[in-house]
Amino acid sequence: MSSEMPAERLEVPVGNSTFPEVPAVEGEVKSSESPVERPAAGSDKEECLEPVSKRQRKKLLKQKQWEEQKDLRRQKRREKRQKRKRDRQSKLDSSSEGTDRKRTRRAVAPSTLRLIVDCSFDDLMALKDVKKLHKQIQRCYAENRKACHPVQFYLTSHGGQLKSNMNEADKGWVNWKDIQIRAEHYSELVKKEDLVYLTSDSPDVLSELDEKKAYVIGGLVDHNHHKVIKCKAAVMWEANKPFSIEEVEVAPPKAHEVRIKIVATGICRSDDHVVTGGLVMPFPIILGHEAAGVVESVGQGVTSFKPGDKVIPLFVPQCGECNSCLSTKGNLCSKNDIGAAAGLMPDGTTRFTCKGKAIHHFISTSTFIEYTVVHESAVAKIDATAPLEKVCLIGCGFSTGYGAAVQTAKVEPGSTCAVFGLGGVGLSVVMGCKAAGASRIIAVDIN
């Protein structure tokens, strides 16, 4: 090359995001639209250009090859899909039963066995446990769809946190087939005599399943039985002072204890006696003994209750062993905490703490709190359909008045009765007299 003709160099504009394509012929570079313009030496435009490096050339060449092979790759993907389709069809043709879900579903008759997942207490679970429950339901549904003899699958009491999570995570559940997802409780869908509630706490072990029965599984992922719960409570720090709403730590239940979520509680005159000093109790204390709630978790050895059971706490326990419990004349269990009240659990400790201080229990119940812990002998299981805001009165006021008429006065059919005072207890006496068959009931109270 002579000195009169300077060597040419390949240059592209700086900052251009679209690189020109590399042609097959070396030395001739073209852009996708027009040839690269080579400005005259010494011009202002030349100062804005930079040479293309060897690495950039390789990159541009690969990009061009990738574009050219796009149709080829598409064709290969199409061929793979067709091959998989042929393989599936061949597998179905060669197998009498097959493993394909749709083929299996058409080939066999479904089982008459009914399986129910009860989700009536998903509000007791943390959100992370609700998500785990959702995944378990998805897996059960998928496995049942693939089964040779799929059961009749029910999901009852569907709502609350679970439904919200299923809507957020994947709304595909609304198109699920061969499953009944109902908002009603299972007791409204199946006859009571056909129900069998499965629980690991039961001492009875099933050797075989009755296809005429409906088996219920509690849809509760319980990771709380060993955890402390923080909740609100009305704490009495000392007598003749107002209640104080505090955050209280509730310890997990120990052996033979039950932790209950209090849904409804009444206020009894006995609670006021503690406030005024008429009933001596140790302070600080959480009062309340007339309530109803739902079992949140159980301690080791508890077999009579499970999470989700509706219950009423008892301020007079029933140990079933002492003379009073074994006698037919009374039920004042010797293990009660009414007389010389210690305000503690049977092991001599408390399950409540607030601001680092131990808080005492009130006659084995303490219901002015969102969660309480009681001994299993101080709990009565009630019907799953019972309205808790009404049956909570059975814990004290109603049973006191009703029992006064039926057990103490022993009202006989045809009797004439007079009831003085028509408060909660007095009205319960009236109901007791009517249930006993009194022909005339005179209720006396101030207007």
- Examine the domain organization and report whether 390 and 299 are in the same domain: yes
- Examine the domain organization and report whether 293 and 192 are in the same domain: no
Q: Between helices 54-68 and 70-94, what is the axis angle to 10°?
A: 50
In a domain, 6, yes or no: no
In a domain, 254, yes or no: yes
- Examine the domain organization and report whether 241 and 324 are in the same domain: yes
CA distance 85 to 426: 78
CA distance 350 to 283: 12
Q: What confidence score (pLDDT) does residue 90 get?
A: 81
CATH code for the domain of 235:
3.90.180.10
- Does the annotation mark 226 as catalytic? no
In a domain, 157, yes or no: yes
- Does the annotation mark 396 as catalytic? yes
- Examine the domain organization and report whether 302 and 330 are in the same domain: yes
In a domain, 3, yes or no: no
- Does the annotation mark 119 as catalytic? no
- Examine the domain organization and report whether 284 and 357 are in the same domain: yes
In a domain, 4, yes or no: no
- Examine the domain organization and report whether 255 and 158 are in the same domain: no
- Examine the domain organization and report whether 280 and 383 are in the same domain: yes
- Examine the domain organization and report whether 372 and 264 are in the same domain: yes
Which of 119, 396, 417, 433 is labelled catalytic?
A: 396
Which of 231, 256, 273, 304 is labelled catalytic?
A: 273
- Examine the domain organization and report whether 260 and 319 are in the same domain: yes
List the chain pLDDT tens, one digit each, 447 residues. Answer: 444 444 444 444 444 444 444 444 444 444 444 444 455 544 444 445 567 788 888 888 888 888 888 888 889 999 999 998 888 888 777 765 545 455 444 455 788 899 999 887 777 677 877 888 888 899 899 888 888 889 999 999 888 888 888 888 777 888 888 899 999 988 888 888 888 888 665 667 788 888 888 988 876 655 555 688 999 999 999 999 999 999 999 999 988 899 999 999 999 888 999 999 888 899 999 999 999 999 998 888 888 888 889 999 999 888 888 888 888 777 788 887 776 678 899 888 999 999 999 999 998 899 999 999 999 999 999 998 899 999 999 999 999 999 999 999 999 999 999 999 999 899 999 999 999 999 999 999 997
In a domain, 5, yes or no: no
Q: What confidence score (pLDDT) does residue 244 get?
A: 95
- Examine the domain organization and report whether 134 and 250 are in the same domain: no
For 141-205, give the DSSP string.
HHHHHHSSS--EEEEES--HHHHHHHHHH-GGGGG--SEEE-SS-GGGTS-GGGEEEE-TT-S--
- Examine the domain organization and report whether 40 and 74 are in the same domain: no
CA distance 419 to 421: 6
- Does the annotation mark 149 as catalytic? no
- Examine the domain organization and report whether 276 and 187 are in the same domain: no
Burial of 85: CB neighbours in 10 Å, binned 0-12, 13-18, 19+: exposed
* Among candidate residues 278, 260, 253, 255, the one with its CA nearest the CA of residue 268: 278
Strand partners, 49: 13
CA distance 33 to 20: 9
SS (H, E, C) 202-221: CCCCCCCCCCCCEEEEECCC
Q: What confidence score (pLDDT) does residue 207 get?
A: 83
In a domain, 64, yes or no: yes
Q: What confidence score (pLDDT) does residue 216 get?
A: 86
Number of domains making up the chain: 5
pTM: 0.53
- Does the annotation mark 333 as catalytic? no
Which of 268, 325, 417, 433 is labelled catalytic?
A: 268
Report the residue count for the chain: 447
Q: Which domain holds residue 44?
A: 11-68
Which of 120, 157, 270, 366 is labelled catalytic?
A: 270
CA distance 318 to 377: 5
In a domain, 403, yes or no: yes
